[in-house]
Amino acid sequence: MALEITDSSFQDTVLKSDKPVLVDFWAVWCGPCRTLGPIIEEVASDFEGKAVVGKVDVDNNQEISMQYGIRNIPTVLIFKNGEVVDKLVGVTPKEIIAEKLSAHL
């Protein structure tokens, strides 16, 4: 299951992770985010133990959202060694998300 990542947990969960981290920036009111949600959960299950998969609610975690310039949601960022290495905006098929994340394992 995807982790809930907050402004306060972002540093430890994402930036200090020794594994690649996929972060889904979303909001409860966002229709496309609700479409992407189950896909992110499947990716979290598929990559368990190999990568960290989490979600940031942009309404409740505006500091991180602003820091990474999140203007459209859903936006998925992939981090490796604390750096953004890939970005996907909008609803993206599971195969593409998995392919992008696999490239950083």
Question: Does 33 qualify as catalytic in the annotation?
Answer: yes
Question: Does 62 qualify as catalytic in the annotation?
Answer: no
Distance CA 51, CA 48 (A): 6
Element (H, E) at 82: none
Catalytic residue among 7, 9, 19, 30: 30
Burial code (b: 16+ CB inside 10 Å, e: under 16) for 12-46 equals ebbeebeebbbbbbbeeebeebeebbebbeebbee
Catalytic residue among 2, 5, 21, 33: 33
Catalytic residues: 30, 33
